[in-house]
Structure 1
Amino acid sequence: MSNKSSLEQFILLGFSDRPMLEHILFVIVLIFYLITLVGNITIILVSRLDIRLHTPMYFFLTNLSFLDLCFTTSSIPQFLFNLRGSNKTISYLGCATQLFMFLALGGIECVLLAVMAYDRFTAICKPLHYTVIMHPQLCVLLVAVSWGIGLLNSLVMSPITMKLPRCGKYQVKHFLCEMPALIKMACVNTVTMESTVFILSVIIVLVPLLLILISYGYITQTILRMKSGVGRKKAFNTCGSHLTVVSLFYGNIIYIYMQPGNNSSQDQGKFLTLFYNLVTPMLNPLIYTFRNKEVKSALKKLFFDKSRFR
């Protein structure tokens, strides 16, 4: 392929070396994607329709569900299309857009999870001042800051990644245009690029994670001092849901992006990215539903007793 044509499109190799696996993956990914759509849309609808859920916690949860919808949809439909046929191509613009969305939405979610931890810290550690501190204007501002940081990170990293010289290489050894896979295609020394990625990853990933851990350190101390067993159980349930989501999200993202030049197997990287891109957004609504009585109650009213909404 000429240099000109290689700039016009890429080939996403994905799992093309194993056709049987592609057929199995198509069915599994399609089912998981549909569950992700239904689950996150349901959370958004329930949080908006039930007035009891018009609180900062569910405002942030609604934004998280919207992020997960966008995050998954930025790459999974293209992946499903590639799994179904022999055409694995994606245009240069499509690849750049996919990379931008993937980096931006991932960065936004990192910061948003830290914001949600701060919300839980305020609710549990400063309950008497909660409504004063977490007023609607602050909630909107915190979400806006999350979006701003994620978009800024992507605006810096996406152009740098796409402009790396590839000397005519156009085959991406992945199922999507992901930054580590595109960096590995470069035909120049990428040590400086990888160092830049690492520094930005520390800012976007580890700083929010540190804030989450600090928040939950204070939360744990407050919960252990509670005399009420019911209050302690409720606090553990709401915090447990958030901590489970944080563990699933950060576990994968740290492995993938904190070491872009890692020597792990390609298949391992693909499956981890698939888990991070599809399974985690699918599990988030289920985690919050099964562990939260308020959401379960709102779901019952939504599907079985709509007239009782106030």
Structure 2
Amino acid sequence: MKSLLTVLKYTLLLALSGALMVYAVRGQDLSRIGHYIATANYFWLGVTMTLSVLGYLSRAYRWQMQLTASRHQVPFWEVYHAMMVGYLANIVLPRMGEVIRCSVLRRTSGVPVEVSLGTVITERVIDVLVLGLLLGAVLLLDFDKFWAFIQGLFADQYDSLAANRGVLLAVAGIGALLLLVFGYLLVRNLEKLRQNALFVKVVAFVRGLLAGVFSVLRLNNKGVFLLHTFFTWLVYFLMDYLAFLCFPETYDLGMRAGLAVLTFGAFGMAAPVSGGIGVFHVLVQSTLLVYGVSKEAGIAYALVVHGAQTLLVVVLGGISFVLSAVHSGKTVNREQLVINSEQ
């Protein structure tokens, strides 16, 4: 039953991606989109893909710093390969890549999943904070353009929420009450729970998770960590900005447009769908529309940029998957030899 629900969930997410892609190209001249893609200057796309590799290396080094701070010394390439396998998994299984890369790291380096997962959570929190700053910068730099865009995007949803405000408040109140009851029962039965094997395992997992989360506070060189964070997001910006040079309609767009595409594109990639497919394309197309780029050129830009990055992740992630599997097999064989020798 659980497997069936999992398949159904991912099928629905894939269907949502497909529906959004259809929405993005609906009513447009497909021949023009094809012309934009066929005549794009792929030299600059190659430059952006090279920058992507540097960005991945920087993120892997930053993750290695977190793992070191959590008292786990892991070779750089093992960290990198685990991360790339996770990115590859996200293309097929939305948001499962974070768990999978931690599982790979456990098999290749012995780092407990809860610890590495804690470091990934910290990484995601930092990314959300950076994304929030970028969103604020975009709205301040082009406030008039994006105020109209946001109003049009959320007007209907706001009216619907306002009309059902009483229902929403009631649901929130019930949720708060249930949370208080749960807290009371937890405190009252805490001694009994401490004797429960499952509860003990959950507590140990949470402690390991928190150790990973707060590892960032124990970094030996916080300046280098911040530098890699800045460099990673700079690479993301340059990837989107230099990709403008691939198409005549986006060639003259400035850095503000690049910052906007980076920000809203990142929201699209963070959506719980396979590789951001559909959501990324709609948001990037809509953002470029704000800057006067036609829908056809906007969706062509999104298709080329997203397609190139997906292809790169498939290639690099596939290589990392093979190398991690080989290394994991060697690790298991060594452990078995040690066990046999002890017997």
* TM-score, scaled to structure 1: 0.29
Larger Rg: 2
> Which is bigger in relative contact order (C-alpha 8 A, separation at least 6)?
2
More helix by share: 2
